[in-house]
Amino acid sequence: MHIRIRPWLAKDLEPLATLANNKKIWDNVKDYFPHPYTSKDANEWLALNVGITPVLNFVIEAEGQFAGSIGMVPKTDVYRNNMEIGYWLGEPFWGKGIATKAVSLICEFITNDYPHINRIYAEVFETNKASMRALEKNGFEPECIRKKAVIKNDVLLDDWVWVKFC
């Protein structure tokens, strides 16, 4: 399957609003990701990401179809050699190795475009085993488990921090 990451485009509005409006996705991401996810939310996201330089957030495409999103957050101050990544996939694309490939692609992008970065990490809720597998397949290792650090759906969860050194 051909997987690629690319910058956001205005044409991504409808597939973004459709795929992101899924509570199963929301259950595995931070609360600032809206649910329900509306066209208004998609418009606001696109306003922040279309034509922006540097590109920090990307569309994940699978066989030319919008499949989800992956992004990175450069850290600052004494953490300036760190980059956090995060991602989500639309449910029709789960279980096909797409997240694994997207993580590989963003790590390659970070290594090429941000040579000062020596540490890439992701935070994953304890319930998201598929995301943990995608990271592990890309050479990430669990660095720590922050016990009961997350509250999602009024439930306290452990937050796993996965790290890869460049």
To the nearest 10 degrees (0 to 180), the angle between helices 98-113 and 129-137 is 50
A 10 A CB-CB count for 115 gives: 9
pLDDT in tens, 88-144: 999 999 999 999 999 999 999 999 999 999 999 999 999 999 999 999 999 999 999
The per-residue pLDDT for 150 is: 97
Q: What is the mean pLDDT of residues 32-44?
A: 97
Report the CATH number that the domain containing residue 27 is assigned in CATH: 3.40.630.30
Q: What is the pLDDT of residue 166?
A: 93
pLDDT category of residue 33 using cuts at 50, 70 and 90: very high
- DSSP of the chain, one letter per residue? --EEEEE--GGGHHHHHHHH--HHHHTTS-TTS-SS--HHHHHHHHHHHTT-SS--EEEEEETTEEEEEEEEEE--GGGTTEEEEEEEE-GGGTTSSHHHHHHHHHHHHHHHH-TT--EEEEEEETT-HHHHHHHHHTT-EEEEEEEEEEEETTEEEEEEEEEEE-
| Phi/psi at 45 (5° precision) | -65, -45
**pLDDT value of residue 164:** 98
Tokens of 31: 């609360």
pLDDT 10s digits, 11-24: 999 999 999 999 99
pLDDT band at 145 (very low <50, low <70, confident <90, very high): very high
User: Tokens 């009961």 belong to which residue?
Assistant: 148
Q: What is the pLDDT of residue 134?
A: 98
For residue 39, give its domain range: 3-118
The whole-number pLDDT of residue 148 equals 98
What does the pLDDT look like over 69-86, one tens digit per residue?
999 999 999 999 999 999
- The answer to whether position 97 is within a domain reads yes
Q: Is residue 146 part of a domain?
A: no
Q: Is 93 within the bounds of a domain? A: yes
- Residue 160 in any domain: the answer is no
**Could you give the number of structural domains in the chain?**
1
